[in-house]
Each structure stands twice: as structure tokens, then as C-alpha cells.
Amino acid sequence: MSKLRFSKSTVDEMALLLATGVEPREIAYRFRCHASTVGRIRQNIDTFGEPRPAPQAKMGRPQKITPEALEGLLDWLLDNGSEKKLSYLDEMVAFLDEEYDIEVSKSTVCRTLAKEKITQKAVERQAAERDEDLRDYYRAQIYEVRAKEAIFVDESAAHERTKDCKREHLASYRD
């Protein structure tokens, strides 16, 4: 069963013929369609007052983050410089809960920001190690330390935000 759609002008012409009293079978024959198509157009006119009803509202669950809350979140992110531009998703979730009493997950906030084409990937903290003067000063200080006095800590197992380490990964040099 094909779902051919007639143009608006064709449907309007069918509605005009129906209004003038032409039989639905004759209209169907003239436009080479099934009589049920003409019947559906008549039913739409009786129900909605027009041959093609207006499109219905969006289906599905309404969004949890309202447009006002989204605008407030964006204002909060752009407010007061770099502190909040580096906010984490859980901080944004806490803001929405405190200010707008909206409980959402981090993934919901992430999807909403992505839908608005907002990304924070370009915003990063610059490492202190990039300062050449400090690096030179560190090298001068470290040359005075003997090898047996040095302790090396592998921070690759450290949590990125809190810098907490798993203790079993820490090792020290022993004589």
C-alpha cells in the first residue's frame, strides 16, 4: 500500500469539489485515487474544518531541562570568567537542582549542551610546568639532589580531579 501524498492544491481542489456536491467516487476517478482517500478528506473537513489537519504537537516525553533553566545554566557558565567555564557536569547538575529544583543526570546535561552546540573541550587549564623560568629553576635545584635521596611517585594512577592515588602503586627507593 503506497502512501502517495497529494499536493496542497490538489487536496484543496478535491475539497472544493466535495463542497459543491460532487460524488466522492467521481472525484476519486478524476484524480486517480481510492474513494477512501476522498472520504478521509471529507472526514478531515468535518472534524478539523480543513482538508489537511495541522501537524500535531511533538510526541514523546517533555524535556526535563526547561528553556528557562537552560538559559540560566548558560548564563551561570559564562558568568564571572574562567572559574565556571571549567565546571564539571556534576557541578552543573547541582546548579540545576539548587536553582531550578530540576533533578537530572549528567548525561542529560551533556546531551542538552551538545544539542545547543556548546562544548568545553577547548577550555583547559594550562599546566604550571610550561613556564620555562620555573623549569630552569627546578633543574638547577634538582642537580643538587643525589640519586639515593630522590623518591619518584607514579601519578598515572591518580584520580584526575582529586589527585588521590591508589597506595599500592606508590613505590620508593630503598638501600
pLDDT on residue 83: 53
Give which of 124, 84, 158 is closest to 94, Cα–Cα. Answer: 84
Domain membership flag for residue 1:
no
pLDDT tens digits along 107-145 = 999 899 889 888 765 444 556 557 788 888 888 988 888
pLDDT of 120: 64
In a domain, 56, yes or no: no
Distance CA 129, CA 46 (A): 76
Total number of domains constituting the chain: 3
pTM for this prediction? 0.41
Q: Which residue has the higher pLDDT, 103 or 173?
A: 103
Q: What are phi and psi of 33, to 5 degrees?
A: -135, 175
Flag whether 25 is in a domain. yes
Indicate whether 100 belongs to any domain.
yes
**Helix orientation angle between 67-78 and 89-100, rounded to the nearest 10 degrees:** 120
Residue 134 and residue 109 share a domain:
no
- Contact assessment for residue 65 and residue 104, using Cβ atoms and an 8 Å cutoff: yes
Domain assignment present for 2: no
Within a domain: 103: yes
Assigned domain for 57 exists = no
Go through the chain and tell me how many residues it has.
175
Q: Which residue has the higher pLDDT, 13 or 91?
A: 13
Residue 87, classified by CB atoms within 10 Å of its CB into exposed (0-12), middle (13-18) or buried (19+), is: middle
Cell of 162: 582529586
Residue 2's SS3 state is coil
Q: How many CA atoms within 13 Å lie on the side-chain side of 135?
A: 6
108 and 81 within one domain = yes
In a domain, 85, yes or no: yes
Q: Where are the alpha helices (DSSP H) in 79-131?
A: 82-85, 89-100, 106-115
Number of alpha carbons in the 13 Å side-chain half-sphere of residue 88: 5
Q: What is the pLDDT of residues 34-89, one digit of tens each?
A: 999 999 999 999 998 899 887 777 778 888 999 999 999 988 887 755 555 567 88
Residue 40 and residue 74 share a domain: no
Domain with 30, as residue range(s), is: 8-48
Look up residue 160 and give its DSSP letter: T
Helix (H, G, I), strand (E, B) or coil at 144: coil
Which pLDDT does position 1 carry in this prediction? 42
* 38 vs 149: CA distance, rounded Å: 93
